[in-house]
């Protein structure tokens, strides 16, 4: 089977959030299972090239955009890391004079719709020049959702006749709303798609690329079973619940995994002291787990100028600082860290200038505080060191499709405190209130996204940490022993690929009745 994964991010070379981790982890797991996989993203000028070797393997790939044909080049990359192995990647470089991917960023440009529509079409142009068409094209989020319908239009339709598409929705809040003329630019007839049964937004007059992905893909997944039920409701669907309900027979939730050859304290080259849950059995004095984790904490405290205070647990949040992640509750935890007797470090970036300003102010206020640090940066290595050093991981999300940070925290023995929403419900089981026996619990959960809710879980966790060191160590081990690897989710995806390959393509319509731009189908 030949599968092509296409998205806007892949870890660790082009990463903003969890989508990047999924692209890396799922691609590698499928490869390990013997599948031929190409993992394709745009060739950004801001790629993190550390550990990446790149080679241009093809030039002169022509793709249509806004009335012109533009050249693209194909680059193959190999990212290598001594501990976690190799990752093979494909980058498509655009030579459009608008320099779509030479902006020093992945998202946030005024013409993001143009950037990712042109990329979507160009990837198909490249694939169409290959000897064999992919069996499955797996697209992710609105940025590449257009591939689901472009592939059924000219000039691609015949070549990709047997190819099936899967769309994974990582966060339904981002949908790619656009106008008919945006589709015209990519060589299809925008007005044909402007229909409620195609791309027209269910509650507005715009077109909606994510809706197009849902309507035209052969299968649609989202990233956890609980989120899959939430997005079918008016509150959770963010305007797409009607469409998702209409297509519920080709929709399901598959819990994300994490790549344990990358996120693993036993082999992690970013952390000063390695440790593992298996060490308890190997060393009766539990040296590797407890003492090595403690050394990571002390090293980090020193590096950040925090006080070495053994009476205070180290609480950490690593997050995009956006409303979804409960920024008000993160702010509350910062302001109350002293009162609660904890140390608190926040690592995050805020795309919204108002939130950025608020956190810059907080970062200044706490710049020399002995117990609080706010790091406003995107820094992969720092993230690894924070997971390894922390006792508790705070994640007060208002909604959370899956959440990878709590899965990573579990693996590093950092006990998550989360709100019960989306994938957090499927992965964190409360010490006191889940129906599971203590030996199967792994964290603390609260229901209401307000300070009373947060206090209820945070105070319980802090009291547990202070009162019972032995039981806390057991909890750490339980957390680390949970298996959230990609093995099971990759099998689910393989089942879906096989299922859609064995049946006719979904009952999509094609716009054969419309006039394509002649020039776009040369």
Nearest CB to ligand ADP, comparing residues 187 and 422: 422
Q: Pick from 423, 487, 402: which is nearest to 170 by CA?
A: 402
DSSP designation for 430: B
Tokens 């990752």, located at residue: 87
Closest CA relative to residue 84, chosen from 234, 217, 271 = 271
Q: How far is the CB of 107 from ligand ADP (least distance, A)?
A: 12
Pairing of strands 68-81, 52-65: antiparallel
Write down the least CB distance from residue 405 to ligand ADP, Å. 4
**17 forms part of the interface with ligand ADP (CB under 6 A):** yes
Using DSSP's 3-state secondary structure scheme, residue 458 falls into helix
Among 134, 348, 396, 489, binds ligand ADP (CB under 6 A): 348
**Is there binding between residue 405 and ligand ADP (CB under 6 A)?**
yes
Beta partners for 221? 168, 252
Q: Which among 68, 79, 112, 75 is positioned nearest to 93, based on CA atoms?
A: 75
User: H or E stretch including 383?
Assistant: helix 380-389
Nearer CB in complex with ligand ADP: 186/408: 408
Options 336, 378, 434, 491; binder of ligand ADP; rule CB under 6 A: 378
Kindly report the number of other CB atoms within 10 A of residue 44's CB atom: 20
194 versus 328: smaller Cβ distance to ligand ADP:
328
Q: Which of residues 305-324 bind ligand ADP (CB under 6 A)?
A: 318-320
Residue choice 87, 117, 300, 383 for contact with ligand ADP (CB under 6 A): 383
Nearest residue to 92 via CA among 131, 51, 47, 150: 47
- Output helix, strand, coil percentages for the chain, rounded to the nearest 5: 40, 20, 40
Which CB, 17 or 326, lies closer to ligand ADP? 17
Q: Which of 206, 166, 165, 203 has its CA nearest to residue 182? A: 206
400, 421 Cβ separation under 8 angstroms = yes
Q: Which of 25, 134, 403, 443 binds ligand ADP (CB under 6 A)?
A: 403
* Closest CB 379 distance from ligand ADP, rounded Å: 5
Strand partners, 207: 178, 200
Q: Which of 45, 111, 161, 380 binds ligand ADP (CB under 6 A)?
A: 380
Question: Measured from the CB atom, is 42 or 401 closer to ligand ADP?
Answer: 401
One residue of 68, 102, 111, 379 binding ligand ADP per CB under 6 A:
379
If the CB atoms of residues 68 and 379 are measured against ligand ADP, the closer one turns out to be 379
Closer residue to ligand ADP (CB): 137 or 383: 383
Q: Is 349 in the site for ligand ADP (CB under 6 A)?
A: yes
Q: Give counts: helices (H), strands (E), the chain.
A: 20, 17
Provide the minimum distance between the beta carbon of 109 and ligand ADP in the complex, in angstroms, as a whole number. Answer: 19
Residue 256 tokens, joined? 């994300």
Number of residues that bind ligand ADP (CB under 6 A): 19
Residue nearest to ligand ADP according to CB distances in the complex: 18
Question: Is 190 a residue that touches ligand ADP (CB under 6 A)?
Answer: no
Q: Which is nearer to ligand ADP, 258 or 520 (CB)?
A: 258
Residues engaged in binding ligand ADP (CB under 6 A) = 17-19, 21, 318-320, 347-349, 378-380, 383, 402-405, 408
């Amino acid at each position: 089977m030949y599968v092509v994964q296409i998205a806007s991010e892949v870890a660790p070379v082009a990463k903003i959030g969890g989508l990047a981790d999924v692209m890396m982890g799922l691609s590698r797991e499928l490869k390990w299972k013997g599948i031929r996989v190409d993992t394709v993203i745009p060739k950004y000028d801001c790629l993190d090239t550390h550990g990446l070797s790149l080679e241009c393997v093809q030039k002169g790939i022509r793709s249509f955009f806004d009335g012109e044909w533009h050249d693209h080049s194909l680059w193959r990359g190999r990212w290598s890391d001594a501990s976690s192995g190799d990752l093979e990647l494909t980058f498509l470089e655009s030579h459009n004079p608008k320099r779509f991917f030479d902006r020093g960023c992945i998202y946030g440009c005024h013409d993001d719709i143009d950037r990712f529509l042109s990329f979507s079409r160009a990837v198909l142009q490249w694939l169409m020049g290959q000897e064999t068409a992919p069996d499955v094209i797996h697209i992710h989020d609105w940025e590449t959702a257009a591939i689901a319908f472009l592939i059924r239009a000219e000039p691609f339709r015949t070549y990709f006749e047997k190819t099936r598409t899967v769309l994974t929705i990582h966060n339904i809040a981002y949908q790619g709303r656009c106008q008919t003329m945006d589709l015209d630019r990519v060589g299809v007839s925008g007005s044909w798609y402007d229909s409620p049964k195609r791309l027209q937004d269910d509650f507005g007059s715009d077109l909606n690329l994510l809706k197009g992905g849902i309507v035209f893909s052969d299968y649609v997944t989202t990233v956890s079973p609980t989120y899959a039920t939430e997005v079918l409701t008016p509150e959770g669907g963010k305007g797409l619940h009607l469409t998702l309900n209409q297509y519920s027979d080709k929709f399901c939730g598959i819990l994300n995994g994490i790549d344990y050859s990358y996120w693993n304290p036993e082999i992690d080259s970013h952390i000063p002291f390695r440790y593992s849950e298996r060490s308890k059995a190997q060393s009766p004095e539990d040296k590797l787990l407890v003492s090595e984790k403690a050394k990571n904490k002390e090293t980090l405290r020193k590096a950040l100028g925090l006080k070495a205070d053994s009476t205070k647990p180290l609480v950490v949040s690593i997050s995009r600082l956006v409303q979804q992640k409960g920024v008000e509750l993160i702010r509350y935890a910062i302001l109350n860290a002293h009162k609660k007797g904890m140390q608190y470090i926040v690592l995050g970036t805020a795309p919204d200038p108002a939130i950025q300003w608020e956190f810059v102010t907080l970062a200044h206020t706490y710049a020399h505080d002995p117990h609080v640090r706010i790091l406003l940066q995107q820094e992969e290595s720092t993230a690894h060191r924070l997971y390894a050093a922390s006792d508790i991981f705070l994640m007060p999300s208002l909604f959370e499709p899956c959440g990878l940070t709590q899965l990573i925290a579990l693996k590093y023995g950092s006990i998550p405190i989360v709100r019960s929403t989306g994938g957090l419900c499927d992965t964190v089981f409360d010490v006191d209130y889940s129906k599971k026996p203590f030996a199967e619990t792994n964290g603390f959960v609260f229901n209401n996204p307000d300070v009373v809710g947060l206090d209820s879980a945070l105070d319980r966790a802090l009291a547990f940490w202070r009162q019972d060191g032995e039981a806390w160590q057991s909890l750490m081990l339980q957390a680390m022993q949970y298996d959230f690897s990609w093995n099971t989710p990759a099998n689910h995806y393989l089942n879906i690929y096989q299922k859609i390959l064995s049946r006719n393509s979904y009952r999509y319509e094609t716009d054969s009745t419309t006039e394509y731009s002649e020039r776009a189908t040369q």
